[in-house]
Amino acid sequence: MLVRVVLLLLLWMAGLLLAPVQGAPLAEIQKRGTLNVCAHPDALPFSSQSRTEPGFQIEIAEEIARKLGVQLDVRWIIFRYHARRANCDATIGSIVMLDKKEEGRRRVRQTRPYAGSRYVLVVSPNKSGVQSLEDLKGAKVGVEHASWPHYLMDKRGIPVASYRTAMEILDAVARGEVEAGLVSDPYAGWYLKQHPNAVKVVEGYTPDPSLRWNVAVGLRKADDALVEAVNQVLDEMLSSQKIQKIFAKYGVTYIPPFSQ
């Protein structure tokens, strides 16, 4: 997913289960002995085919499968339409839908949110006095081309420099090519894990409400038993700090779900 804009990643996570793939209730999953999860093969810190760094979503999926008493079968897909043939039961990074009618139309049920996510403002490490976009005093902000932040900055008249990926934005800020950038918090955390002190996340920056969201597990054609079972696993993982620790392994600060 690193070759696509963050907006595409968000659409992929939220809309992957639109495709008419098959899912299964809990009894069927346990009978066949596998939980089929769709994920991107190269989207760290979210997911990857690496055995040493599979991504936090894959590690969460592994724990869910283990608690359900089945094996995890990851179906690697690049684009959403590939899910038509993937036979997914679940995606781990499903953006929470507030419209329950829309949830029904997509034939996907969502667990309770297990985390929040948002865009953060990043600047060079030696830049001070910045807490908002207005503090940049007209300096260009790095955004991903055709992303939602790109649209919002244009609407507010804030000058931008557009890039293909979040990692390109972070590299540009680190080089001093642009003064600031807007990227999702998992990418910022992952970048800083790989390049300590290369950029700085602005403390106190409050993003536009449309630049934050909650994340749940999306379950296709799930019955009540499967939704409740996965909810229970997520609750246990949160209370034991397991999810928080998994996030931390990838440099990502855990954010509790936002109040809706």
Pair 132, 198: CB distance under 8 Å: no
For the chain, give every residue range classified as CATH 3.40.190.10. 6-115+214-249, 118-210
CA atoms of 142 and 15, how far apart (whole Å): 26
CB atoms within 10 A of CB 44: 22
* pLDDT at residue 214 in the model: 98
CATH code reported for the domain at 6-115+214-249: 3.40.190.10
CATH code reported for the domain at 118-210: 3.40.190.10
Q: Helix (H, G, I), strand (E, B), or coil: what is residue 183? A: strand
Residue ranges in the chain modelled with pLDDT below 70: 1-23, 80-81, 83-84, 99-106
pTM, two decimal places: 0.88
* pLDDT at residue 58 in the model: 99
The tokens for 179 are 């003064």
CA atoms of 126 and 108, how far apart (whole Å): 46
CA-based max dimension of the chain: 61
* pLDDT at residue 20 in the model: 40
CB atoms within 10 A of CB 86: 19
* pLDDT at residue 104 in the model: 54
* pLDDT at residue 203 in the model: 95
* pLDDT at residue 3 in the model: 36
Pair 145, 222: CB distance under 8 Å: no
